[in-house]
Structure 1
Amino acid sequence: MARRRLLLLLKPFDMYPAHQSNGLSRITNPKVFSYLDNRRKVHKDAINFCQDILRKKFVDWEPVLRSKLTQPIRDVDLVVTVGGDGTLLQASHFMDDSIPVLGVNSDPTQVEEVEEFSDQFDATRSAGYLCAATIKNFEQILDDILDGQTVPSKLTRMSICVNSQLLSTYALNDVLIAHPCPATVSRLSFRIKKEGQPCSPLVNCRSSGLRVSTAAGSTAAMLSAGGFAMPILSKDLQYMVREPISPGEANASLIHGVVKFDETMDTSWFCKEGLIYIDGSHVFYSLRHGDTIELSPRAPVLKVFLRHHISL
């Protein structure tokens, strides 16, 4: 039997180094400093733990810091990310639909800790919604994957075309179309199309932007903004106009809705400058007045190993 090939993608573990020279010396509350330094140690220990497990398996593997990932991921059988949802999202931008990914939440939120410090600071750690594993079950889940006892879920991603040109990055969570300055009004129009023909009225809006999410991203910013959580295996998209200015009766019912799998959302941008943010703030593309953006759920899926109760 051929040895499996794995890529181990790591969030840098020096996020909260305990050195006076890095600026943390400004933190006067020793509990905050201890909490931040503990997060670094927990993450570093998780990386070492996962590497120790891989050394025992019949696999070839290579560790790569996510900050060093610049080329498409190819020629591996599995990607394992160690960090949180952000690390898995970054990996997804370099993956097609042929390689599955397993996320390891290296620093899960501790409920007792959050309660203990709730009146002093936010002690929330990583949610890891898309991460099926922690160090407690990593080896068992990895063994199940290698033995073929578990299969990945196929998550819908979103493709983005600007002026009919397909962007190289697919969105796993969401897309935000907005002015670079959050205090500046975003001016745009959009409508839903099916087979190239309009199937909704044109919506003209002034707002703080337009957010469109996949099912996987519907429990993040979309839900926080008043949207609804979608079944994670749904093939549809959900959209919401952020903070619309005087939408008017005609548009009021259209500022939040769903784009079906066989539909697209066509948007026109009417500000001097704008940005398309993909899965957060790290990946973005520039817009100019008159640019058109087409969003579609018919992008290559991403194969992700999920926690059982989430994939149901």
Structure 2
Amino acid sequence: MDSRTRGLIDWLRYFSLGVDEVDVVAVVGGDGTILRTMHLLRDLEIPVLTIRHGKRGFLADVPPHDFALAIDRLLGGAYSLHEYMRLLVQAERAGSLPYALNDAVVTTSSDSRGKVCRLRVMKYSQGGVPERVLTVVGDGVITSTPIGSTAYNLAAGGPIVDPLMRAIVVTPLAPISLCSRPVVLPDYVKVSVEVGGDSHPVELFVDGVLFLRLEPGATIIVSKAPKPAKVIRFFAEDYFTKVFERCL
């Protein structure tokens, strides 16, 4: 081991994200790895370089065989910086939850599988006046970002939304009523998901990670996060072409 490598290893032993200065975070992996990295960064406005490993990388930009080219372009400043909206998720006694890059999902708890939950979805505009959006009797509800609209939201029958839009997508999960349909709301509203008093317990997932069990009467608030995710892009690619290619 040469002295330079040894020095890098020693530096990494004491490195602390958020304390030491960082210009770029490089992530090698699939969408799950990228989402977990975004959770760790949270309020740190550090650009992320994404190197795809796997077939269905909706979030990743750089194919594995082009990583060296991407590094050269990064050092030469030949890239664009994209900002993607995230969601701030708040719940009583939950502490600080990570910002959701894809979605926040409220769904029937694992010990109540096969039973419906009862949820009321409200929106609060800038004036604070509440308006009912959905009443869901079914498996739950998804609130997603535009970039997350091609994730769980898409599988649940929700719309595909251009990732550069600013919107919150609300999609019911397996609702009993045919009137419970997906809704697209502007990004300046707050969305509350209230667990009915006669509902079975539910669970809150943020980007696919279980964070909280919610009992009847509990409420979560979902709104636009104060800071977006910053992702470095090198290659021009039609978004909808990518979606349809990777859905196959």
Same fold (TM over 0.5): yes
Q: Percent of pairs identical after alignment?
A: 27
Mapped to 2, the partners of 1:195 and 1:152 lie a distance apart of 29
Task: Give the TM-score taking structure 2 as reference length.
Answer: 0.80
CA contact (8 A) 2:86 2:227 kept: yes
Taking a change above 3 Å as real, the CA distance of residues 164 and 151 of structure 1, as seen in their structure-2 partners, is farther
CA contact (8 A) 1:189 1:203 kept: yes
**Residues 129-140 of structure 1 aligned to structure 2 (within 5 Å):** 129-140=58-69
Mapped to 1, the partners of 2:159 and 2:221 lie a distance apart of 23
CA contact (8 A) 1:178 1:276 kept: yes
Structure 2: which amino acid aligns with 1:300? K
> What is residue 195 of structure 2 aligned with on the other side?
269
Structure 2: which amino acid aligns with 1:198? V
> What is residue 84 of structure 1 aligned with on the other side?
30
Q: Which runs of 4+ in 1 moved over 6 A?
A: 60-64
**Residues 85-234 of structure 1 aligned to structure 2 (within 5 Å):** 85-95=31-41, 96-107=43-54, 126-163=55-92, 167-181=96-110, 182-198=113-129, 200-201=131-132, 203-234=134-165
Per the TM alignment, residue 208 of structure 1 is displaced from its structure 2 partner at its CA by 0.5
Cα RMSD between the aligned structures? Answer: 2.8
User: Does 2:237 correspond to 1:309?
Assistant: yes
Mapped to 1, the partners of 2:142 and 2:227 lie a distance apart of 20
Secondary structure in 2 matching 1:90: helix
Structure 1: which amino acid aligns with 2:226? A
Structure 2: which amino acid aligns with 1:226? G
Residues 40-86 of structure 1 show CA distances to partners (whole Å, capped at 9, x for unaligned) of xxxxxxxxxxxxxxx9xxxx79999xxxxxx8655321111111111
Taking a change above 3 Å as real, the CA distance of residues 152 and 192 of structure 1, as seen in their structure-2 partners, is same
Residues paired across the two proteins, number: 225
Secondary structure in 2 matching 1:91: helix
Task: Give the TM-score taking structure 1 as reference length.
Answer: 0.65
CA contact (8 A) 1:190 1:202 kept: yes
Moved more, 290-299 or 165-174: 165-174
Mapped to 1, the partners of 2:70 and 2:98 lie a distance apart of 29
Larger Rg belongs to: 1
Indicate the structure whose relative CO is greater, using CA pairs within 8 Å and at least 6 residues apart. Answer: 2
Mapped to 2, the partners of 1:308 and 1:63 lie a distance apart of 36
